[in-house]
Amino acid sequence: MEQVNRPPIAISAIDYDRLSWIANAGVQSQRYKAAGMLTDELGRAEIVPPRPSGRTSSPCIRTSNTRTT
């Protein structure tokens, strides 16, 4: 298999939990190939804890339901 260089991933702990649940449900149902790919991507992600404000510690990280302008 061809080695692919992928950019690093950082994801908030809250989004990680949400996406992990979706990926696991998809893998268990054995209906969605994308669920396995999402699981792989989540496995290599750096998980960033939220600050007390609920935002991530880095302004470069966007979370679910965030509007970027």
For 27-65, what is each residue's pLDDT tens digit?
Answer: 888 878 888 889 999 999 999 887 666 555 566 666 777
Give the contacts of 5 (CB within 8 A, at least 6 positions apart): none
What six digits make up the tokens of 16?
């990680």
Average pLDDT over residues 15-29: 89
Number of domains present in the structure of the chain: 1
Find where tokens 């990926």 sit: 23
Closest listed residue to residue 56, CA positions, set 28, 14, 17: 14
Other Cβ atoms less than 10 A from the Cβ of 15: the count is 21
pLDDT at 11: 87
Whole-model pTM? Answer: 0.70
Where in the sequence is the domain holding 40, given as residue range(s)?
Answer: 10-48
Domain membership of residue 16 (yes or no) is: yes
Q: What CATH number is attached to the domain comprising 27?
A: 1.10.286
**pLDDT recorded at residue 23:** 92
